Amino acid sequence: MTDVVRSDAPRASLAGFFSLLGLTVLLGLFVVLSILGFLLEHPQIWVAVWMGMVFLLLAAILDIYRKQYMPDEMIHKKRRPKVVYRRAIR
């Protein structure tokens, strides 16, 4: 019923690797800041900003990983031929 039209192995780029590495280091920094914010009772606004940065960086890491390292597959579904019945003209 379905055919895989294209399934290429993704090219691993060096820029993607370094961007993921840098974002992971930043993610670790903001995780540490969030934990210290909870333990040392910083104002809630700073803890909220740091946790917001954690989730924003997680979304960016997931997007870069998806674009750089996930295989690109395009699935083509075959359609049934359309059946048109002939009608007599009235």
Q: Residue 3 above 70 pLDDT? A: no
Domains in the chain: boundaries: 2-77
Mean pLDDT for 42-70 is 92
The mean pLDDT value for 25-53 works out to 94
Tell me which of 88 and 19 has the higher pLDDT.
Answer: 19
pLDDT at 77: 61
pTM: 0.68
Residue with the larger pLDDT of the pair 67 and 22: 22
Both structure tokens of 39: 């333990």
- Please give the torsion angle defined by the CA atoms of residues 5, 7, 8 and 10, in that order, rounded to the nearest 10 degrees: 130
Instruction: Give the pLDDT score at 52.
Output: 96
Residue pointed to by tokens 């993607």: 16
